[in-house]
Chains A and B, each alone.
Chain A
Amino acid sequence: DTGVSQNPRHKITKRGQNVTFRCDPISEHNRLYWYRQTLGQGPEFLTYFQNEAQLEKSRLLSDRFSAERPKGSFSTLEIQRTEQGDSAMYLCASSSSGTAYEQYFGPGTRLTVT
């Protein structure tokens, strides 16, 4: 068990470009979550998957955001036409029913949009 991993750890992009982040959950976990955290705030829920099914999306997730978990293992989060307001830490977490859905977080991807 190597924990939740995320790549890249840092991403600097110009406004208007597309970016994609990857999350690899703990291998036996069937649930995967994405959150966004800005400086000085708590993480905000974006979306979650159970296996490959995307079960809920926050209203924060505009049409420019899309997430996938094609085989129920790793997940990707894509942001199209990035804006400066997208600058944040994007956190991924995973959980299983056997642990009361306790979520284990990855190290995050810090996005800076210039």
Chain B
Amino acid sequence: ELKVEQNPLFLSMQEGKNYTIYCNYSTTSDRLYWYRQDPGKSLESLFVLLSNGAVKQEGRLMASLDTKARLSTLHITAAVHDLSATYFCAVTGKLIFGQGTTLQVKP
């Protein structure tokens, strides 16, 4: 059974700090996705990673993929309050999601 594990599950950080969220998955997948979800809202697509070594950046968020290690990271640079949300990684076409990482950025 394909499993996707994220850590940490909850992250409280101060504005201006850097941190990384990790996403491990148990079998091969040719693609990995990162989504953001605000409370009570639907999911917003952040990144699509399609190959080993892929790196994508948008603003203060950068995602990378290592298919050999079955690992993706979402790095947050100089966090701001607006980044507070739950972040999900997901793999394969039909999307198997991790448990989500709830990020709380404090002023």
Residue pair A43, B97 in contact (C-beta under 8 Å):
yes
With A102-B33, A102-B48: A44-B97 Cβ-Cβ less than 8 Å:
yes
B interface residue count range (under 10 / 10 to 19 / 20 to 34 / 35 or more): 20 to 34
Count of inter-chain pairs, beta carbons less than 8 A: 49
Q: Determine if A91 and B42 form an interchain contact, defined as CB atoms under 8 angstroms apart.
A: yes
Asked if residues A107 and B41 are in contact (CB atoms below 8 Å), the reply is yes
Complex Cα distance, B88 from A45, in Å, reads: 14
* A35 CB within 8 Å of chain B: yes
Contact residues on A (Cβ < 8 Å of other chain), bracket = 20 to 34
A103 interface residue per 8 A CB criterion: yes
A114 to B74, CA, bound (A): 39
Binding site for B on A (CB under 8 A): 33, 35, 40-45, 48, 56, 91, 93, 99-108
B-side interface residues toward A, CB under 8 Å? 4, 31, 33, 35, 41-45, 48, 50, 88, 90, 93-100
